[in-house]
Structure 1
């Protein structure tokens, strides 16, 4: 094949780059998290998604709400939400909780007696789906939650705001992906530099996952089965080395570390991290924690259906018929 002229080679290269940067089916992505609307993880993922050509609206809690799980502002008549644009952040919003007596434009900090504090992760996801999206003419094709500051594996899923965000979205009919990046607790005093360095890499990996899902989905169908959002955990490795590979996994029974509690002389209780427990042998080959500890990126589908299987329900009903005969 004859060598192409340099100008033509350059134009073809530019066209290829443009095609890579602008996918055939750019998505509307609602981006949220539990670390806060301006956290480094969500900022890195936002850039990665935009670099891939997707339109992104970010709605996050005003400050770090890690470990708050599926908490949300209940309709108790005592709480309202404020969705405030982030200064200097286009299409980025921060969610606060305030008292009913809050006056629009008042300070959104502790100097205001009517300020309660940050919204929760699920508050933020709800505001993205129910308020910001409709007001912006933005219907999300996908909800992304993360990248979280720390892995969210198996036993930690119930208290993870990052993962609860995607379960909340999925139960409202929107495909969703949670992304979490590992931490090394030995780096706590230095600010977790390895995690910070991994955020852009994890964001780029997420963009590749989305591109792969987009390339293989049936036209007219959602990017993912709505009932099965994904949880991706991206490990960090000393020296900035790449992960060992990618494993398709499932949630197991143990986290990547144990939490140790110790009563102190002053009656406080210390919270420390210890080594991971062993996974059940029956799950060792498929569970996400062993693969993550072996430095693989793990991708686990979740199930939003809290109901037992028909078999489990039938067994329960047959063995506990007496419960239905109890006096109300």
Structure 2
């Protein structure tokens, strides 16, 4: 089995090392192609206005001066001589739950893999301040302890074309994780956080988006509920964003 690993936290991110150690429980044929620096919140951005550079760190390890989407694209087209069987993205330092997945570079890297026809899985570790977990445990404990348990069935489970799987680990020690749940995507109760205004040394105004704790209603059967209750959340996602039940109404409106 050949696995391509990427992320949005950058080539030197601790979570990338965690994911490599998880992947090595299944194969030694592991390739890495990740952004050269953090690209969190980039979503499915593709760099079109400047050239991208790719650096080779060793025979199977590369970094690119672009987005997670750029990294997957170059990994598939330039770094690897044959296509991988699986693309793993992560382990992200922070949650990728509910509607936040639309911002996520971690999930978007898996989206790019799914578009290329490769089985793709995004993995994220919820941090203690993002959930009700706490304590002085190693922050990737749940991912380290449960990563292989989650991946083992996902590596050979039939998946529909243009779909991917989003995995989130709860913010608790591995021995406190209650199990794994297959759940749907939830939704947060309010829009993004505050906008902090400041002035740079030249007196120019700048803005910085804040990331406060997000309040949400824990709808039953969602990723938000699973994480809150101490379970690993596994959510299948599809790339078809069409709201099919609205097609008939719009067709009537346009006389089609």
TM norm structure 2: 0.85
CA distance in 2, matches of 1:42, 1:271: 25
CA distance in 1, matches of 2:181, 2:59: 35
Indicate conservation of the 8 Å contact 2:142/2:174, yes or no. Answer: no
Indicate conservation of the 8 Å contact 1:145/1:163, yes or no. Answer: yes
Aligned to 1:318: 252
Indicate conservation of the 8 Å contact 2:141/2:174, yes or no. Answer: no
Q: Does 2:205 match 1:231?
A: no
Local SS of the residue matching 2:221: coil
CA distance in 1, matches of 2:54, 2:195: 39
Higher relative helix content: 1
Indicate conservation of the 8 Å contact 1:36/1:63, yes or no. Answer: yes
CA distance in 2, matches of 1:269, 1:38: 24
Q: Does 2:55 match 1:84?
A: yes
Runs of 5+ consecutive residues of structure 2 not aligned to the other structure: 200-204
RMSD of aligned residue pairs (Cα, Å):
2.7
Give the C-alpha shift of residue 202 in structure 1. Answer: 1.3
Indicate conservation of the 8 Å contact 2:127/2:139, yes or no. Answer: no
CA distance in 2, matches of 1:294, 1:56: 33
- Seen in structure 2, the aligned counterparts of structure 1 residues 258 and 208 have a Cα distance that, compared at 3 Å, is same
Give the C-alpha shift of residue 212 in structure 1. Answer: 2.3
Aligned to 1:202: 143
Runs of 5+ consecutive residues of structure 1 not aligned to the other structure: 1-26, 97-118, 187-191, 218-222
Aligned to 1:70: 44
Aligned length: 246
CA distance in 1, matches of 2:136, 2:84: 32
Aligned to 2:202: none
CA distance in 1, matches of 2:167, 2:187: 17
Aligned to 1:33: 7
Q: Computing the radius of gyration over CA atoms, which structure comes out larger, 1 or 2?
A: 1
Local SS of the residue matching 1:252: coil
Give the C-alpha shift of residue 275 in structure 1. Answer: 4.2
TM norm structure 1: 0.67
